[in-house]
Structure 1
Amino acid sequence: MKKLLLASLLSTALMGVSANSQAEDYVIDIDGQHAFIQFKVSHLGYSYLLGEFTEFEGSFSFDESNPSAASVEVTIDTASLDSNHAERDKHLRSDDFFAVEDYPQASFVSTSYAPNGDGSGILTGDLTLRGVTQSIAIDVTEVGAGADPWGGFRRGFEGMVTLTPAEFGFDYDLGPAAETVDMYLSIEGIRQ
């Protein structure tokens, strides 16, 4: 009887340790506007054009004891592009650029995460844009994690990646200064 009780207590304790070391799932906080997907591209080499996608959704999984198991999935409504200029946005949504009628969504699905051991790392995954899928590597830094004022728990990251639009089928010539686009991501998730 003592052996059975000891085995039962040990089993329960191990299950608790296993549960504590499992990945936690988060939904990206779109409703509270605590997440951003922004871009910056050179305008003729004289200044920068800034913009963002205002409608997207996604989730991520993170385990503090095993960060390399992290995963992320995001879907972006390409028509939600906003560069703070209606006529330019209309052009960017056209077939010259995002072709939003043919490709209403872009998506990112991670394939691996390589932590650096200091809260930063490289998130690799497949970005699909204009029907073309390319592997990209995002430099990621954890911003923080903890309880929120509403009784929940949140975790946030930021990331940077430079994309080459021509690799995704963009062929509108904006000159050599605009051959790449910098993307900035600020993602805050609510633990489920």
Structure 2
Amino acid sequence: MFKKTALAAAALVPFTQAHAADYAIDTQGQHAFIQFKISHLGFSYILGSLEEFTGEFHYDPENLAASSASLEVDVTSLTTNHAERDKHIKSDDFLHVDEYPSASFASTGFEPTGENQGVLTGELTLHGETNTIEMPVTLLGEGEDPWGNYRAGFEGSTTLTLADYGIDMSSFPEVMHELELYVTFEGIRQ
């Protein structure tokens, strides 16, 4: 649900061998991940992931403003590897997936901050609320794979304030009011 942001972010990072092209995020080969971490009452962490998503990006190294990225996430695919907890997180107490089964990210800009690094800006829609987020991203690598495809891989992370998305955490300790979102993925040039 949140990982959309990271996927989009990577698409806009400058890389030297790239040409203006469209890339599809490789979710079929399990080379893309949307993960999250949230405090558990200040004693430990709950780690989880969103297993089902699709995304794409366009990257033009000669014109970064023309680069773009988008991601669609199936929020019902959330897992923390604990069935009862997952059921509660997906309930109307938190994500209310019956009413909001998907999340999305669409980039609106990118600003380079160094070699192979930058900040991706975009609109994240989650739980029926849309907010602008910024995600620092890093190019992990690019080039030909053993099967003749051209790939580029990226990672990024950001922190989300859950109240910004209408998720009421007021009955929990303040350390649980924010969630860390981490995204890593490979894109295959189309």
TM-score normalized by structure 2? Answer: 0.87
Residue 74 of structure 1 corresponds to 71
For 1:21 and 1:58, the matched residues in 2 are separated by 19
The superposition leaves residues 55-100 of structure 1 with CA deviations (integer Å, 9 ceiling, x where unpaired) of: 0001011123333432110000000001010000000110011111
Deviations 1:104-139 (A, max 9, x none): 100000000111241100100000001100000011
| 2-structure distance, mates of 1:68, 1:113 | 7
Percent identity for Structure 1 against Structure 2: 52
- Which stretch shifts more, 113-122 or 36-45? 113-122
The question of whether the paired residues in 2 share the 8 Å contact of 1:68 and 1:115 is answered with no
Kindly indicate whether residue 111 of structure 2 is the aligned counterpart of residue 145 of structure 1.
no
Counting only pairs closer than 5 Å after superposition, residues 21-170 of structure 1 correspond to structure 2 as: 23-170=20-167
- 2:98 aligns to what SS in structure 1? coil
The two structures, once aligned, show a CA RMSD in angstroms of 1.5
Listed as ranges, the gaps of 5+ residues in structure 2 are 1-16
Cα–Cα, structure 1 residues 22 and 170, in superposed 2: closer, same or farther, change >3 Å?
Answer: same
The higher radius of gyration belongs to 1
Aligned-partner Cα distance in 2 for 1:54–1:122: 25
**Counterpart secondary structure, 1:100:** coil
Question: Which among 157, 162, 174 is matched to residue 172 of structure 2?
Answer: 174
Residues 44 and 65 of structure 1: CA distance in aligned 2, closer, same or farther (over 3 Å) = same
Which amino acid is the alignment partner of residue 163 of structure 1? L
TM-score normalised by length of structure 1: 0.86
Mapped to 2, the partners of 1:140 and 1:174 lie a distance apart of 30
**Greater length-normalized contact order (CA 8 Å, ≥ 6 residues apart):** 2
Q: 1:49 to 1:21 in 2, by over 3 A?
A: closer
**As a proportion of its length, which structure holds more helix?**
1
Q: Determine the structure 2 residue equivalent to 1:184.
A: 182
